[in-house]
Amino acid sequence: MTTEPATAAAPRPSSSAPTILDLVGETPLVELCRLTSDLPPDVRVLAKIEGFNPGGSVKDRAAVRMVREGLGSGALRPGKTIIDSTSGNTGIALAMVGACLGYPVELVMPDNVSRERKRIISAYGAKIVFSSGLEGSDGAIRLCREIYSRDPERYFKPDQYFNEANPRAHFEGTGPEIWRQTEGRVTHFVAGLGTGGTIMGTGRYLKKQRPEIEVIGVEPDDAFHGLEGLKHMPSSIVPGIYHEEELDRKINVSTEDAYDMVYRLGREEGWVLGQSSGAAMVASLRVARELREGVVVTIFPDFGDRYLSTNLWIGWSQLPPPAARP
């Protein structure tokens, strides 16, 4: 985590990319400063800012990988429609990929996901089929299976919850990036539990480099929670790619604590983020406060602009401005 001095002879990297899909990955790792001011000097907390992906979230990684593997195997070919269930971000990512590659996209999602997510998906030209919001992501999974079963030859279903290309995208992308960006100093990896792809793939890579690195999952503390994108595994359809025995432990976070942390991140660190990022930060601070030294790395899956119409901000009351830094 040092910065090498630039030389006058160093070549300037190209700023162009063949397609928008080639901009996925290589997101920045940023250190949290004000929220960690009470930690021992040898304990650091860093977050990978996945909102910088072109589709705006960590789900771009898996979506691109699943579609490219589908093209490679022939499962996706001209005339087929990409279909999957989603709570929002994977849907946005698949809609972006489909638009870029010229494939129609149909997405099944709970009708209570944020207005912003629905509009972004529509802007890419994808079709949305709504499932009951009361049934959460599991309801979308079931309805998507039903639609697919009616005409399987029409569709290519990446099936993000059961497709090993999902964690593979993180094993070959997110994990190596974190290892390189921390110069191998990462000691703890903390990530939210949704499909399980991010924590499985990244965790496997990091443990392959150094087995003593702790991999810690972040889970809502209740089945009825307000943390879009996260799953309460004991009460949910467990994704086939998720293997809890590979985790060192899990940390449960309440909706209220996650929301409060989102507000603090915006006001004290300058990051306006989503609910799952708030939960990840709550858990990361809990881990960091157990340590005398270490480097805790977490994932901030997206930015907060796609949640401004949700309960996260509805009814939020403005607090006094934080004190300025000395």
131 is catalytic: no
- Annotated active-site residue in 87, 131, 137, 276: 276
Give SS3 for 300. strand
Provide the b/e sequence for 151-170 (b: ≥16 CB within 10 Å): eeeebbbbbbbebbbbbbbb
- What sections of 74-196 are H helices per DSSP? 89-101, 115-123, 136-150, 165-169, 175-181
If 0-12 CB within 10 Å is exposed, 13-18 middle and 19+ buried, where does residue 15 land? exposed
Q: Taking the CA atoms of 4, 190, 276 and 86 in sequence, report the sign of the dihedral they define.
A: positive
Report residue 234 CA to chain centroid gap.
20
57 is catalytic: no
- Annotated active-site residue in 59, 118, 157, 231: 59
Q: Are strands 155-156 and 188-192 parallel, antiparallel or unpaired?
A: unpaired
If 0-12 CB within 10 Å is exposed, 13-18 middle and 19+ buried, where does residue 256 land? exposed
Q: Are strands 214-220 and 155-156 parallel, antiparallel or unpaired?
A: unpaired
Q: Rounded CA gap, 141 and 91, in Å?
A: 13
Which residues belong to the active site?
59, 276
